[in-house]
């Protein structure tokens, strides 16, 4: 099945496949200058950065957006453990090297924010600054993640717990990928998210599905062509690779024991939507930034903005990113 044409087709954008230890990573590259590596979240692709690529290029940067392993045209290993955090960090380092660079600024959204943070934490020699969108940095702590998620759920099941069993969420999503994505995007967007108290979309009642609480609407930032592109990618690849990131939370907790409570000391940037549930759940993590992100340069909460921050507010996010990058005084070529 052919997938939808990419609605974002500037003449100077380059699609490339580069070798990494676990296979190959697909990336989209544009511009020249200091390297800025953009990492997407769930369930997205490099395409979520379509508006920031030209903004970064115009400011003198080499902007590169990847398909995280398991997504798009990147490799999709069968082993669940191949999606552990340390593998994603290795991918990012290998991408920087494949592009002929020694260092990069890394910026991520959603799961990409956590991947970016851990890349900066584990490889400060490569990632000299880090930008976090949507999900704040929360250092590893003493509680095993799946135990914490089980406690959060109460009488219902927290969505991360729902995603743990291989095949379970896929059985819900894959019969109608486009419809599921449309509902998920809309439910977490500021202009279409539910306002009633009928239960949180992040919790699944016994015998139910996550989509049972989705809204039937189309957020203003998402066109038919853009939804078709996302749906086409996931109809081709399936959702297992994307969901396997959630299935490694305990493995990550074990792998990162050496970094328990560790701060990220490089210059950093944080930006989130006011209506993003992650901001509420992880409010204590934001309060801890003076300790956990001592190099924080700027932090922003965008009013009337939901989870898909760089797509809901593309121009504002691009402007704030460029301003932060400018403060780093990188040698722009």
Active site residues: 110, 307
Closest to 256 measured CA to CA, from 120, 154, 127: 120
56, 36 Cβ separation under 8 angstroms = yes
Residue 307 φ then ψ, to 5°: -75, -35
Q: Which residue has the tokens 């994603």?
A: 88
101, 326 Cβ separation under 8 angstroms = no
* Percent of the chain that is helix, strand, coil (3-state, to 5): 40, 15, 40
- 64 burial class (0-12, 13-18, 19+ CB within 10 angstroms)? buried
**Positive or negative CA dihedral for 272, 241, 235, 6?**
positive
Please report the DSSP string for 230-265 in residue order: HHHHHHHH-SHHHHTTGGGHHHHHHHTGGGTTPPP-
As given in the structure block, the two tokens for residue 83 are 């999606």
Q: Which residue has the tokens 């609480």?
A: 213
Q: How many CA atoms within 13 Å lie on the side-chain side of 9?
A: 7
The end-to-end CA distance of the chain, in Å, is 42
275, 306 Cβ separation under 8 angstroms = yes
């Amino acid at each position: 099945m052919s997938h939808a044409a990419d609605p974002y087709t500037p003449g100077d954008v380059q699609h490339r496949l580069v070798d990494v230890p676990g296979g190959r990573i697909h990336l989209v590259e544009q511009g020249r200058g200091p390297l800025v590596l953009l990492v997407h979240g769930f369930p997205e692709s490099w395409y979520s950065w379509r508006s920031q690529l030209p903004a970064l290029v115009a400011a003198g940067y080499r902007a590169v957006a990847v398909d995280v392993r398991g997504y798009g045209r990147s490799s999709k290993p069968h082993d669940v453990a191949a999606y552990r955090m340390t593998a994603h960090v290795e991918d990012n380092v290998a991408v920087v090297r494949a592009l002929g660079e020694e260092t990069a600024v890394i910026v991520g959204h959603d799961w990409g924010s956590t991947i970016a943070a851990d890349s900066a934490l584990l490889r400060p020699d490569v990632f000299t600054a880090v930008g976090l969108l949507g999900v704040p940095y929360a250092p590893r702590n003493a509680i095993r993640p799946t135990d914490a998620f089980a406690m959060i759920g109460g009488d219902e099941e927290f969505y991360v717990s729902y995603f743990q069993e291989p095949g379970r969420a896929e059985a819900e999503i894959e019969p109608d990928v486009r419809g599921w994505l449309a509902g998920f995007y809309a439910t977490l967007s500021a202009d279409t998210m539910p306002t009633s108290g009928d239960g949180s979309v992040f919790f699944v009642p016994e015998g139910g599905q996550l989509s049972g609480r989705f809204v039937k609407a189309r957020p203003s930032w998402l066109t038919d062509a853009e939804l078709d592109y996302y749906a086409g990618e996931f109809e081709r690849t399936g959702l297992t690779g994307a969901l396997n990131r959630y299935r490694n939370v305990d493995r990550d907790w074990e792998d990162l024991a050496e970094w328990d409570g560790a701060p990220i000391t490089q210059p950093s940037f944080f930006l989130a939507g006011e209506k993003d549930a992650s901001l509420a759940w992880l409010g204590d993590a934001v309060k801890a930034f003076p300790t956990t992100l001592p190099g924080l340069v700027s932090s922003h909460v965008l009013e009337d903005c939901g989870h898909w921050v760089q797509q809901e507010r593309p121009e504002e996010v691009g402007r704030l990113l460029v301003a932060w990058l400018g403060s780093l005084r990188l040698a722009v070529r």
